[in-house]
């Protein structure tokens, strides 16, 4: 069962499961509002009764993802809390009642972005966060997601929480689309070059989550992102490269020079060690994934003429 089936990740989960002839019960937001406890109980009960064995896995891809709005608008903050904090607990409790497993998706924003304390990578740089590094979200969205993780953990369902980062896909607005549009509108572009993370194509993440759902990995929290590390500026230059435009038209700036309502983690890198130790296939390097993503979804790049 997939909730949030109309979002970037949800769309790819449903597509993949159908391609693999896996029976899937998918709910977009109009079909199932995950904040409605009675509706959740009815939907999970009916679905799990139909599955009738340990194959019943609920993949929750629903979330309130308007990070800046949640920071500035109290009504949006309440909605974010209902969807990201309370509802995952409702889903997990329903899964517990009906002997289903839940795979819940969370975010790098649960970390403050200062990097894991006291650990460095083998090359001497900052290490990626491991699942049991202390969390401490800096903004409203991250705090709601942090609480959602806790509520899933408390619900006594067999569960996995999978934190990911910098997700884009064929559905909805995202960084790739925005950069492609701006490439057509502006001669040069200034993009933050001091926040580090790993772009993640929703189709690769979906494949990883499906593999997790079929695995016998021990319950708990895992990290899964595209491989490698870049900055938003590096990501934007790669989009220009895919467009056939000159990446040098993208210039770096600091976070201070581009303030946003919600704080962004400076270091969003999530270590893949927990994922691979669970026997799951690492997601491919982010640059390779971007090339595949734009081949599958040419509209990601719009119709911008190449400007070298
Ligand atoms: N995007 C990122 O960069 C990123 C980074 C880290 C982690 N994540 C996590 O990855 C997961 C998937 O995100 P995404 O990028 O696929 O986000 P998305 O494209 O915004 O999709 C989220 C989906 O959830 C739906 N939704 C919102 N409220 C709902 C409700 N009450 N009941 C049912 N569905 C509801 C949304 O519907 P509407 O569009 O109609 O509101 C949307 O279809 C989320 O858990 C997110 O927190 C995302």
pLDDT of residue 306: 46
Greater confidence, 259 or 304?
259
Q: Which domains does the chain have, with CATH numbers?
A: 2-174+198-229+269-284 (3.40.50.720)
Greater confidence, 245 or 263?
245
**How far apart are alpha carbons 282 and 224 in whole angstroms?**
8
**How far apart are alpha carbons 27 and 6 in whole angstroms?**
8
Residue 274 contacts residue 223 (beta carbons within 8 Å): yes
**Pocket of ligand 1 contains residue 107 by CB under 6 Å:** yes
Greater confidence, 26 or 265?
26
Ligand 1 centre to CA of 251 (Å) is: 30
Mean of all residue pLDDT scores within the chain? 94
**Pocket of ligand 1 contains residue 60 by CB under 6 Å:** no
Give the nearest ligand 1 atom to 82 CA: 31
Give the CA count within 13 Å in the CB-facing half-sphere of 45.
8
**How far apart are alpha carbons 97 and 248 in whole angstroms?**
55
211-232 mean pLDDT: 96
Is 141 catalytic? The answer is yes
Residue 118: which residues within 8 A CB-CB, separation 6 or more? none
Q: What six digits make up the tokens of 167?
A: 């997700």
Q: Is residue 283 scored above 50 in pLDDT?
A: yes
Residue labelled with tokens 């690492």: 282
How big is the chain, counted in residues? Answer: 308
Q: Is residue 303 scored above 60 in pLDDT?
A: no
Q: How far is CA 220 from CA 87, 122, 152, in A?
A: 19, 26, 10
According to DSSP, residue 267 is labeled: B
**How does pLDDT run across 185-220, given as a tens digit for each residue?**
999 999 999 999 999 999 999 999 999 999 999 999
pTM of the model: 0.96
pLDDT of residue 308: 40
**How far apart are alpha carbons 84 and 70 in whole angstroms?**
11
**Pocket of ligand 1 contains residue 43 by CB under 6 Å:** no
**Pocket of ligand 1 contains residue 8 by CB under 6 Å:** yes
Ligand 1 centre to CA of 5 (Å) is: 9
pLDDT of residue 54: 66
Q: What angle do CA 154, 202, 239 make, to 5 degrees?
A: 135
Coil, strand or helix: which one is 247? helix
**How does pLDDT run across 37-73, given as a tens digit for each residue?**
999 999 999 999 887 666 799 999 999 999 999 999 9
pLDDT of residue 53: 64
Q: Is residue 117 scored above 90 in pLDDT?
A: no
pLDDT of residue 123: 74
Ligand 1: residue whose CA is nearest its atom 4: 167
Q: What are phi and psi of 206, to 5 degrees?
A: -60, -45
Ligand 1 centre to CA of 207 (Å) is: 17
**How does pLDDT run across 71-83, given as a tens digit for each residue?**
999 999 999 999 9
Give the nearest ligand 1 atom to 9 CA: 16
Q: Which residues are bridge partners to 159 per DSSP?
A: 102
**How does pLDDT run across 119-155, given as a tens digit for each residue?**
777 777 778 999 999 999 999 999 999 999 999 999 9
pLDDT of residue 270: 97
């Amino acid at each position: 069962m997939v909730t949030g089936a109309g979002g970037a990740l949800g769309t790819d989960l449903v597509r993949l499961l159908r391609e693999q002839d896996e029976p899937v019960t998918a709910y977009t937001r109009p079909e199932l509002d995950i904040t409605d406890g009675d509706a959740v109980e009815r939907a999970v009960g009916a679905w799990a009764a139909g599955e009738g064995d340990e194959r019943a896995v609920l993949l929750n891809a629903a979330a309130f993802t308007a990070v800046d709005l949640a920071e500035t608008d109290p009504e949006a903050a309440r909605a974010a809390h209902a969807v990201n904090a309370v509802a995952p607990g409702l889903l997990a409790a329903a899964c517990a009642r009906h002997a289903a497993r839940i795979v819940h998706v969370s975010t790098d924003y649960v970390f403050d972005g200062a990097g894991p304390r006291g650990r460095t990578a083998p090359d001497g740089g900052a290490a990626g966060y491991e699942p049991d590094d202390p969390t401490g979200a800096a903004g409203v969205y991250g705090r709601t997601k942090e609480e959602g993780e806790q509520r899933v953990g408390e619900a006594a369902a067999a569960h996995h929480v999978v934190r990911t980062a910098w997700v884009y896909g064929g559905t909805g607005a995202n960084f790739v689309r925005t950069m492609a549009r701006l490439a057509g509108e502006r001669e040069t572009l200034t993009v933050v070059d001091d926040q580090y993370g790993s772009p993640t194509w929703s189709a690769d993440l979906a494949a990883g989550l499906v593999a997790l759902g079929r695995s016998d990995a021990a319950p708990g929290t895992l990290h899964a992102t595209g491989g490698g590390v870049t900055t938003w500026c590096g990501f934007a230059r790669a989009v220009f490269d895919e467009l056939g435009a000159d990446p040098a038209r993208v210039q770096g700036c600091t976070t201070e020079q581009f303030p946003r309502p919600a704080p962004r983690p400076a270091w969003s890198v999530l270590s893949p060690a927990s994922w691979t130790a669970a026997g799951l296939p690492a997601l491919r390097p982010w640059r390779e994934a971007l090339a595949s993503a734009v081949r599958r979804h040419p509209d990601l790049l719009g119709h911008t003429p190449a400007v070298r």
